Amino acid sequence: MFIEFEDKALEDLFTTGSTSDNKYNKLPKDIIKRYVKVVNYLRAAVRIENLYLIKSLHYEKKEGNLKGVDAVWISEKYRLLFKTSPDENGIIVNAILTEISKHYE
């Protein structure tokens, strides 16, 4: 999949492993490593349906006030939220990473 970063801090975390953004600069090192691993899984996926095959991601389409947002697990506590868009054939191959959220907070 083609990955874009809506937030510069998410891109910094992926490329350098750190960021000066207050929202993410206190994330534990193991969560940052897992985040990079999850983004690499997304990049390796040919299409969105491939994410269902990686059980550890727990891929889901959100509902309610997060309708239109997809999520995968970074850990039991953290989720990576992203939006998807289709290519010209209607196959979802693009993901825009929006945020790392704490589950239930």
2-102 maps to CATH 3.30.2310.20? yes
Q: How do the domains of the chain map onto residue ranges? A: 2-102
Record the pTM. 0.91
* The two structure tokens encoding residue 24: 């993410």
Provide the residue-wise pLDDT of the chain in tens; the chain has 105 residues.
999 999 999 999 999 999 999 999 899 999 999 999 999 999 999 988 899 999 999 999 999 998 999 999 999 999 999 999 888 787 888 999 999 999 766
**d(C-alpha 96, C-alpha 105), whole Å:** 22
Residue 79 exposure: Cα atoms within 13 Å on the Cβ side: 18
